[in-house]
Amino acid sequence: MEATHLHPKQQACHDCDLLIELPEQLNDNQSLLCPRCKKVQWTQYKHPVDKTVAYSLTALILLVIANAFPFLSFDAQGQTRTITIIQASNELYIQGFYLLAFLVYVCVLLFPAIYLSCLLAITIPTKIGLKPPFAITLGRTLSYLLPWVMTEVFMVGVLVALIKIIELADIVFGVAFWAYIGFVVCFLASSAIASKHQLWTWINHGK
């Protein structure tokens, strides 16, 4: 069902499609649940614009740090090897895992960076009381990108791989490793606060 055909005070549940009557306003830290499947539809956070700007900016800075410094160092049989995230995906490409290398570039580095930039392009003007330029395009871009951002999947993959490698080599976690963990936390926080509902509220009505 097209969202544009719905009454503006109604929303289809994200999980079971039940039409939900939207309340005028939620209190701070209050969530709207679907009456049928009890899934959270959106949460009204306190100072959502400020928090989204803070988390998104921090996440972008941590992503730059995560790419500028060594991610992991392996020490096996007297030989030490240090890799960055970009080198790890280059290595996948060299070994013939083209799709995997492409997914790491795009879903782990490129899309999160574009997502955060678009989010800041909406929230910073909203914060200072201006209408964000190209707001509808930015809002749609954010909705399309989010399912393709796989930062936490990458982190879980790295941790699972480490369990196997740790028996074969001594591993030193680089600055980029900790920066990437911080980035994932900040990214998840900003995308949770800037939910679809919150995003379109900013785009249509400002703060």
Residues in the site for Zn ion, rule: CB under 5 A? 13, 15-16, 18, 34, 36-37
Q: Which is nearer to Zn ion, 1 or 163 (CB)?
A: 1
Q: Which is nearer to Zn ion, 34 or 109 (CB)?
A: 34
Least separation in angstroms between residue 15's CB and Zn ion is 5
Q: What is the DSSP string of the chain?
A: --GGGS-TTEEE-TTT--EEEPPS---TTEEEE-TTT--EEEEE-SSHHHHHHHHHHHHHHHHHHHHHS--EEEEETTEEEEE-HHHHHHHHHHTT-HHHHHHIIIIIIIHHHHHHHHHHHHHHHHHTTPPPTTHHHHHHHHHHHGGG--HHHHHHHHHHHHHHHTTTSEEEE-HHHHHHHHHHHHHHHHHHHS-HHHHHHHHHH--
Least separation in angstroms between residue 13's CB and Zn ion is 3
Least separation in angstroms between residue 20's CB and Zn ion is 8
Q: Which is nearer to Zn ion, 15 or 152 (CB)?
A: 15
Least separation in angstroms between residue 173's CB and Zn ion is 41
Q: Which is nearer to Zn ion, 18 or 99 (CB)?
A: 18
